[in-house]
Structures are given as structure tokens and as C-alpha cells.
Amino acid sequence: MKALYSIYRRSLRPLRHVGWLRSSVYLASALNKGDPWSKERFDSEYAGRFDPWGYDTEVGRVRLTLAAQLLDTLAKGRLFGRALEIGCAEGAFTELLVDRCEAILAVDFSQTALRRASQRREWGGRVKFEQFDIRRQQLNGNFDLIVVMDVLDCFPTRDVKTACEKVLRCLPYRGFLLMTGVKQADVFDSAWWSKWIIVGGQRVKRHFLEHPRLKLAAEAELDTHVLAVFQKA
């Protein structure tokens, strides 16, 4: 089946520059992107190498530093209270959060990533690492800051919406939500079908913008990513 779909995609490449046909090609791609969010896939990524998502590269550090700076503009010298970091990976951004929060619950899908994160440095008791799957488990508690970096744009649309609602239930009034996501081709954001299908960081950001209980507090863009902080009203 995958081989047939690959042939199908190659056959459509010449049509990508033909108006509505181009939009239809990207729609087919969005609907058939499959589900990359599997334990096997993530275990394989971490088993093959350290830092599979590039957070500790020069480019990755620029993105994480920019995200931390957005938080600093809102914190105004104060610490955030209790924070939840969803998708902490090997702890690269956790390391920036630890001096900005009183306590952090850092969760990830991969046990290998969590082990590496816990061994990354001495955390001083302010950080707790747990295995967690936001698609299949419920979130409990309240958090003054929730961080979801490069996670939601991996999900199918229905799971993006469900995950967003789970997150918002744990965010109190005036709490902050930091999201980042990978940019996609412009057609994903401008096509007629983009209202219903959430693909990429721009669409995830728009989904949060459309939520009646959220307001945009800070934002930034890089060539590859969108970054935004929302506050619950």
C-alpha cells in the first residue's frame, strides 16, 4: 500500500503548479500522511542517535533561546509557578525552563528520552520526569505555564483538537501556554480546506487563536518555525 501511494504522489507532482489541482494534491498529502506518533517510531529515533530532533544543534538552540525570551518578556523578572513541559525530549528546553519556574513536570512519550533528560544534569529536585502520552492519557492538575513544543503539528487533526482541550483544562485563568510548530508550505495555510484540517505550526497557532478563552500574549517566527505564547482569559 505504501508503495502504491508513493507512485500516486510522484504521478501528481507535475500538477502541483496548476491552481486548484495543486491544492488538491496537498489535501491528498495531508489526508494520507499517516500516524507518525507511535512508540516504535520514537524508540527507533532515539535508539539510532542522540538529539534526533536537533535541539542541541546551533539552529535548535537559537529556537529554544527565542522561546525562552518570549517567556521572559511576560514573566517580567518573576518565576512562573508550576510548569508542565509536554514533549521534553532529552531536556534541552527543560534546562532553560528550570531557572524560570518554581517546579516543572517534564513528560515525554519515549522512555529513552526521559532517561537521557534526567541524566543531562543535576536538576536539584525542581524537575520531575514522567512518561506520558497526551493522545491516550488524561492530564491532571493545574499549571501556571504549559509548554508544547513541536508536538501538536505531528498529530492528525482530531488529535490536535483533543490534545488542545486537555491542555486548556489544566491551564488556570491567566495561565500561559507556549507552543511552537514547524512551518509547512503556504498552501496548507491558505487552501479552502485548511479551516478543517490542521497541518503544521501555523494552523496549530490559528487553532489556538480561534479559541474564545485564549489571547495571544507574545509571538515570533523563524524561517522554519512559528512560536507563540497564549494567555487564558
Q: Which one-letter DSSP state was computed for residue 224?
A: S
Q: Band of the pLDDT at 25, cuts 50, 70, 90?
A: very low
With H, G, I as helix, E, B as strand and everything else as coil, classify residue 179: strand
- Cell readout for 163 is 490534545
Q: Which one-letter DSSP state was computed for residue 153?
A: G
Q: What is the dotted CATH code of the domain comprising 33-232?
A: 3.40.50.150
pLDDT, tens digit (0-9, with 9 covering 90-100), for 67-87: 999 999 999 999 999 999 999
Q: Band of the pLDDT at 20, cuts 50, 70, 90?
A: very low
With H, G, I as helix, E, B as strand and everything else as coil, classify residue 73: helix
Domain-wise residue ranges, the chain: 33-232
Give the model's pLDDT for residue 35: 56
pLDDT, tens digit (0-9, with 9 covering 90-100), for 144-156: 999 999 998 878 8
Quick check: 101 and 83 in contact, CB under 8 A? yes
pLDDT, tens digit (0-9, with 9 covering 90-100), for 38-47: 667 777 888 8
Answer yes or no: is pLDDT of 5 > 50. no
